[in-house]
Amino acid sequence: MADLLKEAREKPVVVLGDVMLDEFVHCMKEDSPEPPGLKLWVTNTEYRLGGAANVALNIARLGGRALLVGVTGDDENAKMLRHKLVEQGRYTIEAFLVIDPSRPTTVKTRFLSGGVAHLRVDREKREFISGPVEKQLKVQLAGAIDEVLGSPGSLIVSDYQKGVVTGGSGSLFQHVLHSRVPVYVDPKYRPAEFYRGVDVITPNLKEASELVGRTLDTPQEIEEAGPELLKATVSKAVLVTQGEDGMTLFGSSEDPLHIPAIPVKEADTVGAGDTVISTLALMRAVGATFAEAAIIANAAAGIVVSKVGTATCSPEELLAQFVK
């Protein structure tokens, strides 16, 4: 484990997807005579990297070299997001970002008191990028991939369906599939055929249900869906994450491997999927098997869900999970 983390230092991983800013508004709460009966007093506001930017940060915090490709608006939130990228200091995140003045920077605002979320407000534009913006993003993606070629790395697609990951002939996603590096996808609610040709896909239980067209509730139903997902996406592996029920790994030549979740007293699952795919891709890039990488990703997820809000884990925290 220590050797894998040592090998991960400066290992390049390209992250393409929906870049976001997560805003956390911390409040005091009290009863209100007005509907809905709750009043929040704002005490503090903080900003964290979200979406694809959080995937990149997870890679960087584990020692990897993250190359972030995405789109922002031309607004104050874009300035804050870029500031947060630079603020990471010694953690290497290289930005390959395109500005689209026609859309706002995606922001998710959560109002919390005592670590409990009461409301989430999203500011975004979901229409697909097109024309000059998509062309610029292809150029940026090509530049980032050039940095990975020659060094065993990988490319992560963080698809939150906010307009960046486009499909169809000549689309950005087709550009990804011709990248000549392993492609890992954290999917959203699209037909399974959309992701056809990727190397690894990491749906959560709801996303996996959407991909196969039926609700998956029991372990048996999940195991039966695994081969369908492998076939539909023509991928080498599928990792279905199931929250407190752990995750199940399907490989084209291996039996399903179920990995129990690490027990957490109070879990906050915000950004947990970002941690899973970033850790999985980085560990694979340094030579871990699919099973080893999935077990390590499960441990990393257990660490971040024990924290409030969008979070990451350090190599020291991760190593501690395996030397108890």
75 in catalytic set: no
- How many other C-beta atoms are found inside a 10 Å radius of the C-beta of residue 218? 8
Within the chain, strands assigned E span 12-17, 19-31, 38-51, 65-72, 93-99, 106-113, 116-123, 154-158, 183-186, 200-201, 237-241, 247-251, 254-259
Of 274, 229, 284, 246, whose CA–CA distance to 68 is shortest? Answer: 274
How large is the C-alpha radius of gyration of the chain?
A: 19
Strand-pair category, 183-186 with 38-51: unpaired
- With beta carbons less than 8 A apart as the criterion, state whether 55 and 15 touch: yes
Out of 18, 159, 186, 274, the active site residue is 274
Tokens of 301: 């997820």
For tokens 């870029």, name the residue.
Answer: 82
Q: Which residues does the annotation mark as catalytic?
A: 274
